[in-house]
Structure 1
């Protein structure tokens, strides 16, 4: 029997920047609900596997976990990093979901032994934490990014956002480059900001399964993004698996996923990629999330595949990963 520890930062009691809707984020309760949804989707998939004992990090605000998984909470005064380090040492594997903001995901990765960590490697997390560095790497691989629209006559809006922000946190649309630059210069002195062209098109995301051998496109999802009268960009969820595989665009997206995997070979397991489908240029990559995203919830059922089994297999031998009948859960 293998023991696996699941930690989702918000449902485990952690916090992140941008919990206020005033800066382009969403309310704390909505963030918590998204985090708990991701956590429970992972846990339910794991409970469908034989020979796994599942432990789930939780807190008072999200105490109920799918049964028969075991719930654990941090000790009094214990930091999130100490908690994850302690639990990972008591388990064979640790599956951590946390935002890249402020280097959170990178720090959690440093708390867990590499052979127990179910996720991307350290260098790929560090790279994709920075939007600027990510776009530079993708550009070198010939992958379209917002930088391709710099100087284009069609570019009429610009975006200012934190270089390491999660989702649409603190992201604002500006009508001129000068306004976006001024906004970035008004950011806190210790924060790096990115200014890039706004790409018009359909806001999508790719769900990828990455292993040492390849990067498979699992689904194309539609992102629910809004812009208010002040240019504040906000994220309100995702509609999973909206593009049929027979759609010619799916093949294009699949080829893009493979190119991303080759450009960043340390990506492992479930990876999310934010993309805008431009009417003339096709897919333009906005950022890469080196972790489980909201699109994970419901995706196993939509695809008829247990993605937890495949994430584990992507990190090594898939022994003891045969599916078992679902157990009853709360």
Structure 2
């Protein structure tokens, strides 16, 4: 099996654009972790592409010194399967997944239409609430209606983009004086979401999805500091919490609401002592993979292949050790 693993920032897809400081370290950490794990899958030949100043280990590595899209097409055309990691925002993840399929390879990651449903926070939130998934109260607003909606909900609230990546553009608004800064972080967007702030333990559930089935792999702590903007500083797996079992059940139900999700998927959540809520679904490999893959008693890459090829999911997954991870990967 020829497998093309593509990571957006490592490949230099936005090499001429100012990036968040964490973008490349996070992307490279995920790419290295995946290549390491797929190297242990029988009869799997790995291919990838990176910028000239980066070094990774794969069976074939092409250096991207100019047209990264041409390199992408070359590798995708020679692959049996592709696994795409790219930003949700800007439709990059969905478009590149579609592009890989157009070259004739199958996806180990989510289908483009499922990616678009999951990354539209307005549409996805409505779908999950209709299905009975607990989520914080949330309303789409414009700049003109923001004040009245915040007055209705009461402080504190979270203001966030409808289409956004991780903590980008996400603000905690605790008073009227915070609104101007929140608007600045939204960078001119005309419609966005106001969400009732949910205090508690910030967590993520990691799941493996195949066809119509999914299974939880782990519940992870997320180190997120509310502010303007929110900041993400890694996490720890597994998370031991009174709501752990309920949270994993809820995440499983949420992912089941979006047909077409596949492979490694994350669900952001907030847990309290007696409840849990879903914040959003990440239809792709997340930074948590770097810790989860070293914590569990199975090769997650092999499980992804089994899910895609055999429609088979692992049973009785066990965490064998606690792993902390940050933007550069696991810390032991």
- Hey, what does 1:91 align to over in structure 2? 79
Structure 2 gaps of 5+ residues are 140-148, 313-332
Q: What is the CA–CA distance in structure 2 between the aligned matches of 1:17 and 1:253, rounded to whole Å? A: 40
TM-score, normalised to structure 2, is: 0.81
Deviation per CA, 1:23-54: give whole Å up to 9, x if none: xxxx42x3211111111110011000111111
Q: What is the CA–CA distance in structure 2 between the aligned matches of 1:16 and 1:147, rounded to whole Å? A: 38
Q: State yes or no: 1:290 paired with 2:283.
A: yes
1:75 shift after superposition: 5.5
1:293 shift after superposition: 0.3
- Hey, what does 2:325 align to over in structure 1? none
Deviation per CA, 1:57-92: give whole Å up to 9, x if none: 21124x2112x532113363x243x43233111111
- Hey, what does 2:116 align to over in structure 1? 126
**How many residues are matched?**
301
- Hey, what does 1:106 align to over in structure 2? 94
Q: What is the CA–CA distance in structure 2 between the aligned matches of 1:138 and 1:151, rounded to whole Å? A: 23
Q: What is the CA–CA distance in structure 2 between the aligned matches of 1:217 and 1:69, rounded to whole Å? A: 30
1:227 shift after superposition: 3.4
Structure 1 gaps of 5+ residues are 21-26, 320-330
TM-score, normalised to structure 1, is: 0.81
CA RMSD of aligned residues (A): 3.0
- Hey, what does 1:260 align to over in structure 2? 254
2:127 to 118, 126, 137: 137
Does the aligned pair in 2 maintain the 1:226–1:235 contact within 8 Å? yes
Does the aligned pair in 1 maintain the 2:211–2:311 contact within 8 Å? no
1:317 shift after superposition: 2.6
| Aligned pairs for 1:1-330 within 5 A | 2-15=1-14, 27-28=20-21, 30-61=22-53, 63-66=54-57, 68-74=58-64, 76=66, 78-80=67-69, 82-113=70-101, 115-147=105-137, 156-176=155-175, 180=179, 183-184=182-183, 187-189=186-188, 192-228=191-227, 231-243=228-240, 248-280=242-274, 282-317=275-310
SS of the residue corresponding to residue 64 of structure 2 reads coil
SS of the residue corresponding to residue 75 of structure 2 reads helix
Change (3 A) 1:133 1:292: same
Does the aligned pair in 2 maintain the 1:238–1:294 contact within 8 Å? no
Q: What is the CA–CA distance in structure 2 between the aligned matches of 1:97 and 1:256, rounded to whole Å? A: 25
Which structure has more relative contact order (CA 8 Å, sep 6+)? It is 1
Does the aligned pair in 2 maintain the 1:162–1:191 contact within 8 Å? no
Does the aligned pair in 2 maintain the 1:88–1:116 contact within 8 Å? no
Does the aligned pair in 2 maintain the 1:276–1:285 contact within 8 Å? yes
Does the aligned pair in 2 maintain the 1:145–1:286 contact within 8 Å? yes
Deviation per CA, 1:295-323: give whole Å up to 9, x if none: 1013223111111111122222389xxxx
Q: Bigger shift: 100-109 or 292-301?
A: 292-301
1:196 shift after superposition: 1.3
SS of the residue corresponding to residue 308 of structure 2 reads coil
Deviation per CA, 1:77-134: give whole Å up to 9, x if none: x243x43233111111111111101111011011012752221112210011111111
SS of the residue corresponding to residue 105 of structure 1 reads helix
